[in-house]
Amino acid sequence: MRIGEAAAAAALTPRAVRYYEQQGLLEARRTPSGHREYGLSDIRRLRTLRELLEAGLTIADVRSFAHVLDPAPAEGAAAVPPADGAPESCEVRDVSLRRLADLEDRIDALTQLRDRLAAGIADRFGEAFDPAP
Partner DNA sequence: CTTGAACTTGACGTGGGCGTCAAGTTCTAC
Partner DNA sequence: GTAGAACTTGACGCCCACGTCAAGTTCAAG
DSSP 43-80: HHHHHHHHHHHHTT--HHHHHHTHHHHS----SSS-SS
Sign of CA dihedral 84, 86, 91, 96: positive
The CA distance from 4 to 6, in Å, is 6
Task: Rule CB under 8 A: choose which of 27, 123, 127, 130 binds a second copy.
Answer: 123
* Window 81-110: contact mask with a second copy (x via CB under 8 A): --------x--xx--xx-xx--xxxxx-xx
Give yes or no for residue 85 binding DNA (CB under 7 A).
Answer: no
Determine if 18 is a binding residue for DNA (CB under 7 A).
yes
The residues of the shown chain that bind a second copy, judged by CB under 8 A, are 51-52, 54-57, 65, 67-69, 72, 75, 79-80, 89, 92-93, 96-97, 99-100, 103-107, 109-111, 113-114, 116-121, 123-125, 132
